[in-house]
Amino acid sequence: MPEAIPLTVHDTFSRPLRDLRISVTDRCSFRCTYCMPKEIFGRDFAFLPPRELLSFEEITRLARIFLGLGIEKIRLTGGEPLLRRDLETLIGMLAPLPGLRDLTLTTNGALLAHKAEVLKAAGLNRVTVSLDSLDDSVFQSMNDVAFPVGRVLEGIDAARAAGLTPLKINMVVQRGINDGDIAAMAQRFHGTGNILRFIEYMDVGATNGWQLGDVVSAAEIIECIHRVLPLEPIQPNYSGEVASRYRYLDGGGEIGIIASVTKPFCGDCSRARLSADGRLYTCLFAADGFDLRALLRGGSTDEEITTAVRRLWSVRSDRYSEQRSEESRLRPKVEMSHIGG
Ligand code: SAM
Ligand code: SF4
Ligand code: SF4
């Protein structure tokens, strides 16, 4: 039978729905100070009980529905996605879905050395690993659980060896915390084939105490790298790519900069986010999501769920980063660990 042609849906700014990020857990083994500060996400924090998480069957059913609406990419995230038991089983269910061109995962890398091969064998295409510094004292105080750099580097090596490539490395840059490590990170991954991406620190959620002064701008990051490893800008791979790309003049590969604060890219934003408990968010900075789990568990048909998603996306007008202001920053926002990056 020929593959069904997806019926792409566009929002009020004509942005198509192309990319789905699925959070598979709200739990994490790290307590990165910019994401899950210990004072909030402490011993008493009420994480989702297992029955509230979407099952693998529910996630796969939704993924199939979203593919029917024209998405091409799925990224598994969290929390820390590798904490979800038997994640490879979910990957094995998603990978063969018709229309899926790219299945990836973002991880803190803590469990990657053990898991890389089984993830690849299950059908995962690539991984993005978060690593904010090569300096153990900086990294350990940022992850706040004293997790060593060396074990993340082992995870990166294992993922490369397993063929989860091109591998990307995410570094969130915070002024006065790890901005002194930008050049060292660039030098460490230059010529390795891994694509290092620098992320401007964002005001996601309401717990990290974000201030504009903590943001190191894309321009500053580029200048810092250019001094030691000269760079030039290159074209995006595709429309809607969030990272601006640069290549080393000496042929040592490329880097990306995700400048959501100083150069917002809402105009091309084609991403929807599904939380671990089945709420659909049309923006990283949204206050609330649409409860798809209620439809799944309430007996709705695929057609009814498709109609609900189509309706939600077609009225979407989110462009938080382009409109960021003192007032909008104070509005309630979902936590990033709840919906994923
Ligand atoms: N636990 C996984 C990890 O850290 O890779 C996946 C989830 S994490 C929320 C996804 C990405 O969001 C990570 O690369 C993380 O560094 C980034 N992130 C979290 N909080 C952020 C913030 N306030 N500003 C910018 N990036 C942030
Ligand atoms: Fe966990 Fe990732 Fe958030 Fe760090 S950024 S606390 S690893 S979810
Ligand atoms: Fe997309 Fe919202 Fe980020 Fe703008 S602020 S790029 S709409 S997720």
- What is the DSSP track for 186-200? HHHHTTSS-EEEEEE
pLDDT higher than threshold 80 for residue 29: yes
Q: Which ligand is nearest to the CA of 284?
A: 3
In-domain check, residue 332: yes
| Within-domain flag for 8 | no
Q: Which two tokens stand for residue 201?
A: 């620190």
4 within domain boundaries = no
Examine residue 7 and state whether it is found in any structural domain, yes or no: no
Q: Percentage of the chain surpassing pLDDT 70? A: 96
Is 202's C-beta closer than 6 angstroms to any atom of ligand 1? Answer: yes
How far, in Å, from the CA of 159 to the mean position of ligand 2?
A: 19
Question: Is 80 exceeded by the pLDDT of residue 240?
Answer: no
- Residue of 29, 32, 84, 208 best suited for mutating to test ligand 2, as the one with most atoms within 8 Å of CB: 32
In the chain, how many domains are there? 1
Q: SS3 for 245?
A: strand
Check whether 337 has a pLDDT greater than 70: yes
Mean pLDDT computed over 50-54 = 97
Query: Percent helix, strand and coil across the chain, each rounded to 5?
Result: 35, 20, 45
Confirm or reject: Cβ of 256 under 6 Å from ligand 1. Answer: no
What's the gap in Å between 261 CA and the centre of ligand 3? 11
For 64, the token pair is 């199939």
Contacts of residue 231, Cβ cutoff 8 Å, sequence gap at least 6: 222, 225, 246, 247, 248, 249, 255
Residues with CB under 6 A from ligand 2: 28, 30-32, 35-36, 78-80, 108, 130, 337
| pLDDT higher than 60, residue 148 | yes
Q: Phi/psi zone of residue 36: left (φ > 0), alpha (ψ -120 to 50 degrees), beta? A: beta
Provide the pLDDT for residue 160.
98
Q: Is the pLDDT of residue 213 over 70?
A: yes
Is 11 part of any domain?
A: no
DSSP letters, 149-192, are: HHHHHHHHHHHHHHT--S-EEEEEEBTTTTGGGHHHHHHHHTTS
Ligand nearest to the CA of 208: 1
| Ligand 2 atom, smallest distance to 143 CA | 4
Q: Whose CA is nearest to atom 22 of ligand 1?
A: 202
Domain of residue 276: give its range: 19-339
DSSP string of 274-316?
A: E-TTSEEESSTT-S--EEHHHHHHTT--HHHHHHHHHHHHHT-
Distance CA 9, CA 310 (A): 6
Ligand 1 atom 4, closest CA = 108
Quote the CA–CA distance of 283 and 154 in Å, as a whole number: 33
Residue 265 beta carbon below 6 angstroms from any ligand 3 atom: yes
Whether the predicted pLDDT of 1 surpasses 60:
no
Amino acid identity, residue 339?
I
Q: How far is the CA of 29 from the centre of ligand 2 (A)?
A: 8
Give me the mean pLDDT over the 306-314 stretch. Answer: 97
pLDDT of 329: 67
Q: Which residues pair with 20 in a beta bridge?
A: 74, 272
The closest of 203, 210, 126, 199 to 160, measured between CA atoms, is 126
| The one-letter amino acid at 133 | S
Task: Give the CATH number for residue 263.
Answer: 3.20.20.70
Q: Does 318 reside within a domain?
A: yes
For residue 63, pLDDT beyond 90: yes
With a cut of 60, say whether residue 2 has pLDDT above it. no
